[in-house]
C-alpha cells in the first residue's frame, strides 16, 4: 500500500512539474513567428511588404502584363495604380445598369453601379503617397476617406477598406514604411467616372 502511495505521489509531482515548466517556458520555439529581438526599420519594412502581399494590394494597385502563367506584375510599375497613359477603359454600361460589376483585364480599373474607379498610386511619388502623412494613410485605410482627408469623398469599390477598419496601428505603420521605401513612380491616376457619365 505504501509503495502504491509513493508511486502515485511521485507521478503527481512529475506531471505537475512538467506542467509548470511547460507553462513557464516563455522562450519562442524556432517555428514561432514571435520576434526574438526588437524590431528594426528594416524588419518593419519587411513586415509591411509581407502584409501588402497577403492583403492582395498588388491585385488592383499594380499594373500587369500577360505572362506564361497568366497576369504578372510589371516590376517597374509596382503599386503605381491604373496607368495614366492608358486609354480610358470602355465598359458595357447596359450590363452595369443591370447590376453587374466588371474589371479591366489587369484589375487596375473596375466598373459597377458606382461608376468607374481606378486603383490609386501607392508609391512614394508626389502623384501617389509622396506627400501623405501616416495619419492620412490610416484614415484612408481604416475609414475609407479619399487621400485620408476628413471632408473628402469615400473610397470607391472594389477597395475593401471595411476589411481593414480594425487593423492594428503597428500593421498600418509597417505597411506605410514599406510603401514609402519602394521605387516612386510618377503616375497621376484619372479621377473616377460617375455612373451617368459612362
Asked if the model's pLDDT at residue 130 lies above 90, the reply is yes
Grid cell of 134 as nine digits: 501616416
Residue where the block lists cell 505597411:
175
pTM of the model: 0.79
Taken as a whole, the chain contains a residue count of: 198
Cα–Cα distance for residue pair 69/65, rounded to 1 Å: 11
Q: Which residue has the higher pLDDT, 24 or 111?
A: 111
Q: Where are the alpha helices (DSSP H) in the chain?
A: 2-24, 41-54, 57-61, 93-97, 134-143, 169-181
Asked if the model's pLDDT at residue 77 lies above 50, the reply is yes
Amino acid at each position: 500500500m505504501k509503495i502504491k502511495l509513493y508511486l502515485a505521489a511521485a507521478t503527481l509531482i512529475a506531471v505537475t512539474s512538467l506542467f509548470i515548466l511547460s507553462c513557464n517556458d516563455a522562450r519562442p520555439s524556432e517555428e514561432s513567428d514571435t520576434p526574438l529581438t526588437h524590431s528594426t526599420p528594416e524588419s518593419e519594412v519587411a513586415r509591411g511588404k509581407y502584409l501588402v502581399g497577403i492583403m492582395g494590394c498588388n491585385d488592383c494597385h499594380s499594373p500587369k502584363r500577360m505572362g506564361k502563367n497568366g497576369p504578372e506584375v510589371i516590376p517597374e510599375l509596382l503599386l503605381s495604380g491604373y496607368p495614366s497613359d492608358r486609354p480610358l477603359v470602355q465598359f458595357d454600361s447596359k450590363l452595369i445598369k443591370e447590376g453587374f460589376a466588371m474589371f479591366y483585364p489587369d484589375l487596375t480599373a473596375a466598373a459597377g453601379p458606382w461608376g468607374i474607379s481606378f486603383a490609386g498610386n501607392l508609391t512614394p511619388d508626389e502623384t501617389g503617397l509622396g506627400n501623405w502623412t501616416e495619419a492620412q494613410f490610416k484614415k484612408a485605410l481604416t475609414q475609407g476617406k479619399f487621400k485620408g482627408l476628413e471632408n473628402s469623398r469615400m473610397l470607391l469599390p472594389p477597395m475593401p477598406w471595411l476589411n481593414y477598419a480594425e487593423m492594428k496601428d503597428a500593421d498600418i505603420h509597417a505597411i506605410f514604411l514599406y510603401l514609402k521605401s519602394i521605387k516612386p513612380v510618377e503616375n497621376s491616376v484619372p479621377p473616377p467616372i460617375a455612373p451617368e457619365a459612362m
